[in-house]
Amino acid sequence: MSMNLERGKAVLSGAQLTDTKKPNLSKILFGAAVITMLVSLYFIFIFAAEEKTMGAAQKIFYFHVSSAWLAFMAFFVTFVFSILFLIKRKRIFDTYAYVSAEIGVVFTIIVLTTGPIWAKSAWNTWWVWEPRLITTLILFFIYIAYIMIRQMDGVWDKKARLASVFGIIGFADVPIVFFAIRWWQTKFHPIVFGEGPSQKGGGIEDTMLVALLVTITAFTILYSYLLHKGVSFEKMKIMVERYKEKLREDLEN
């Protein structure tokens, strides 16, 4: 395995460092994310019916579930690109895996902060050590560790290989988080769809379902924008690193 997989690439010039590739896609995704977010807020606060027992606090559900959806999707993308990296050994796959994991961690933070606020309102406690909450916290720590591996000193391809293995194994926790309330007894975390050993999912009202789907769409577009932005930044960073290397070699010769 070579120490630096990208070394054989063409020599860069300073003019090539400016990111001129597909600026429109970034703008389109940003515009779409803003518009769909505003639409989702309309659906959440105006269109969706208010739940009778929880009142306004139930509206936390839309952002909480959508953030969880985005985090799961981000970790799935990390999982897929980690496998691709280990097979093909192309740096771009590693870049996608890393950026996606970072986005996943950000949205897991939203899940882990909006969840306790919901819990305080519904269960009169901020935190309960029950399966769904524990497995989500573990998921958060797994991907924090993944990012810490990326921040370590050392050759990038060694870090990338280690992180890829971590990204693949870490993904095993995602289905566990999802099925936790369906596999194990829980008095607290509600099942909306499907059923578990201690409760049956009650489903949600039509307007609530529409609002949830619109919010999930908005979050998916936001994820696409953040991923695109993050990957283009990482690509530029790699180019700058290579250019610095070239300058250093020129100065030494």
Partner 1 sequence: MGYEFMYGAYSVAWVVIFAYVLIIGKRHTKLKKEIEFLKQLEK
**Contacting positions for partner 1 (CB under 8 A):** 13-15, 17-18, 54-60, 63-64, 67, 103, 106, 109-110, 113-114, 117-118, 120-121, 222, 226, 229-230, 233, 236-237, 240, 243-244, 247
The minimum distance between CB 14 and partner 1, in angstroms, equals: 4
Q: Output 84 or 224, the one with its CB closest to partner 1.
A: 224
Q: Output 95 or 114, the one with its CB closest to partner 1.
A: 114
Buried b / exposed e along 170-206 (16+ C-beta atoms within 10 A): bbebbebbeebbbeeebeebebeeeebeeeeeeebee
Q: Output 152 or 240, the one with its CB closest to partner 1.
A: 240
User: Rounded CA gap, 122 and 29, in Å?
Assistant: 36
The minimum distance between CB 145 and partner 1, in angstroms, equals: 19
The minimum distance between CB 63 and partner 1, in angstroms, equals: 5
Closest CA to 171 of 101, 219, 96: 101
Residue with tokens 């969706």: 48
Q: Output 196 or 223, the one with its CB closest to partner 1.
A: 223
The minimum distance between CB 237 and partner 1, in angstroms, equals: 6
Q: Output 18 or 154, the one with its CB closest to partner 1.
A: 18
Closest CA to 201 of 215, 216, 210, 189: 189
Q: Are 45 and 63 in contact (CB under 8 A)?
A: no
The minimum distance between CB 242 and partner 1, in angstroms, equals: 11
Neighbours of 20 (CB within 10 A): 7
CA dihedral (87, 89, 94, 95) positive or negative = negative
User: Rounded CA gap, 222 and 103, in Å?
Assistant: 10
